[in-house]
Amino acid sequence: MVMLQQTAVGPPPLPGGVAAVLRFFFNLPQWLQIGGFFVGLVVAAYVAVTLWRRRRAIVAWVVARPRQIKIGLAAAAAVVLLGAAGFGTVSWNYMQHDNAFCTGCHIMKGPFQRFTGSKHDSLSCHNCHQQSIFASTRQLYLWVADRPEKIQVHSKVPTRVCASCHVLGNKEKEKWRRIATTAGHRVHLESDSSALREVQCTTCHGLEVHRFVPVDSTCGQAGCHIGTEIKLGKMAGQSGFHCIACHQFTADVPLLATRDSAAGTLRPGAHECLGCHEMRAKLADFDPARDPHRQTCGMCHNPHKQTRPSDAIKSCASAGCHSDWRSEPFHTGLRHEKAAQQCTLCHLPHAAAVDASDCGGCHAEVNRRTGGRLHLPEGFDTTKALRRTSWVPPAPAPAERQKVKGDAPPFDDPPWRAPATPADTFPHDRHTQLACITCHASTREHARLTFAPPRGCQICHHQAPAASTCTSCHTSGELAASHEAIVRVTVGDRAPKERSVAFAHAAHSGVRCVTCHTTAVTLEPDAPTATCRSCHEDHHAAARQCSTCHAGAGPLATHQPPIEPHVACDACHREATVARLVPDRALCVTCHEPQRNHYAGRECTVCHLQSSPDAYRAHLRKAGS
């Protein structure tokens, strides 16, 4: 550690032989000095009293003197007073503002040369090193008395003196504010610890006289980070590092950030560490997005306390980091409690973030790294299992036949084919983007389902049917097949008749799925939709093929005499239905099927009822018959 060079080896700061005379008196025995001092006081008091008592006689004597003598006496008195004032002024200016007065005692060589070449060379020593006149008088006395060893360290520079210059002016204020908010300054100036309570600017910026830039021994001075060595790996024993090579002392910290945040900024990060350590092998697959420590190497690695990089694992559960790991049920559950303290089993260094929901992915990765030593359960591959359980032995090789002359050509055996592997009953491959615990409860034995199918599946898949794309699950082949629907036809007071019709999705491609599939969760069609009534209730309209539903001998047999089939239809059928009917060709061929192609393209009523379909329409109701 560089010590302050304040050894007095130069000439005294007094001109001529004045110092020798004063030194003679100061070197007398102490009792003699004290006695002489009091004798001097007595003599001075006697002279003063005598002059005061004889003041009238002295004044009268002066008044009685000639004018020339009076002028001479006044001039002499003025010279004495002016000389004393000038001597005092010059002496005060010399002692307070002339650096030569200080360098007469402090021969600092290198430190003073640094001072004269710095931005402070226009200042006097007492601009920064301020003390009372009594302290200066005492030090002058000790120096003249040739007892400099009694002059201890003096005129320290407090922070207020630095601030008196460095806070003046807008630019200086901004610079001072910028410096005061850096990480290192906030940690050292805002601390409430007893060790940092008396920290001043010169504690770091004045360890060596007039060397204002902190040196490598600044941090290691007494009362600070003394004895702090580097112990980690190959770095151990190296003393050429400056502290700020790793610790970002001048890094910016937000104004609203706490002191703890500022202390965290001082921790070495990837930018500082990777400047020396390339870490190509360890960080080949490093992904900053998966690093929960935000690339702050110093959060885990402490080169001053750890001797091996692997010792960083011991810091995981230290106070302030993951000390609350026991409060996480995932760590203390039945399946993971035995391995809970083996952090790196699941959390890889430099990529510690793990998706806790990816059970299969985590187990597969751990099995790969440990060579399968732990035998952790992995995701069940149902397709692979089905292939294994459905395995059949290969077909035996056909026996070689001995061909002789006259034999018929051998026939070829049909090629052997292995039976098809049954398909998986659940499409796991279509759910690979979901975590295992989405469907399987990890706390139950054998990871049973958390729901009862198929309702549980439907709850998941049918959460937002209006915004879902049904064809992402329901394939076109599944929708191509026709579905049978049972409809009931009721006419008047007759018993209803049931008949089946084929429902085809292709014929309804212009209708949204949720129009028909309205039941919550299952999305089954409701009863009116399942029987086609909700959409096809109004099917007795013009140009509709009535024979689609009313075909065969049934309609013709029920309209035999005495029933008149062409008038007053609403006597049996609903009036609303009859009101919508139009007696066009499509209605006629429902009963007269054999005449379907009779004058195709022409309306039947024009010839057989001598009226157009629209004109004859009124006869279908009783009111118009």
Average pLDDT, the chain: 77
What does the alpha-carbon distance between residue 82 and residue 214 come to, in Å, rounded to a whole number? 49
Question: What is the mean predicted confidence (pLDDT) over 553-557?
Answer: 70
180-194, 312-326, 597-611: range with lowest mean pLDDT:
312-326
Helix boundaries (H) for 288-435:
329-332, 343-346, 359-369, 382-389
Residue type for position 235: M
Question: What is the mean predicted confidence (pLDDT) over 542-554?
Answer: 64
Whether residues 27 and 137 share a domain: the answer is yes
Residue 610, in any domain of the structure: yes
pLDDT at 2: 36
Could you give the percent of the chain with pLDDT greater than 70? 81
Where does the pLDDT of residue 4 fall: very low under 50, low under 70, confident under 90, or very high at 90 and above?
very low
pLDDT at 7: 39
pLDDT at 372: 78
From 486, 521, 537, the end of a domain falls on: 537
Give the total number of structural domains in the chain.
4
Residue 421, in any domain of the structure: no
Other beta carbons within 10 angstroms of residue 514's beta carbon come to: 13
DSSP state of 429: G
From 120, 155, 190, the end of a domain falls on: 155
Residue 127, in any domain of the structure: yes
Whether residues 532 and 577 share a domain: the answer is no
pTM for this predicted structure: 0.46
CB 193 within 8 A of CB 269: no
Whether residues 496 and 557 share a domain: the answer is no
Whether residues 32 and 149 share a domain: the answer is yes
Nearest Cα neighbor of 504 from 528, 476, 523, 524 is 476
Where does the pLDDT of residue 392 fall: very low under 50, low under 70, confident under 90, or very high at 90 and above?
low
Q: Residue 3: pLDDT above 50?
A: no
Whether residues 601 and 475 share a domain: the answer is no
Domain range for 587 = 542-625
C-alpha dihedral (125, 126, 129, 133), degrees to nearest 10: 140
Which tens digit of pLDDT belongs to each residue from 302-311? 888 888 888 8
Whether residues 553 and 520 share a domain: the answer is no
Whether residues 523 and 580 share a domain: the answer is no
What does the alpha-carbon distance between residue 18 and residue 4 come to, in Å, rounded to a whole number? 30
Whether residues 36 and 89 share a domain: the answer is yes
Whether residues 560 and 582 share a domain: the answer is yes
174: which 2 tokens?
């901004």
Residue 367, in any domain of the structure: yes
Which tens digit of pLDDT belongs to each residue from 414-446? 555 555 555 556 777 777 777 777 787 665 555
HEC profile of 235-251? HCCCCCCCHHHCCCCCC
Whether residues 479 and 553 share a domain: the answer is no
Where does the pLDDT of residue 49 fall: very low under 50, low under 70, confident under 90, or very high at 90 and above?
very high
Question: What is the mean predicted confidence (pLDDT) over 274-279?
Answer: 79
Query: Which sign, positive or negative, has the C-alpha torsion 186, 192, 193, 198?
Result: positive
Where does the pLDDT of residue 407 fall: very low under 50, low under 70, confident under 90, or very high at 90 and above?
low
Helix boundaries (H) for 122-280:
125-128, 133-144, 159-166, 170-180, 183-189, 201-205, 259-265, 270-273
Question: What is the mean predicted confidence (pLDDT) over 478-483?
Answer: 77
Q: Residue 17: pLDDT above 70?
A: no
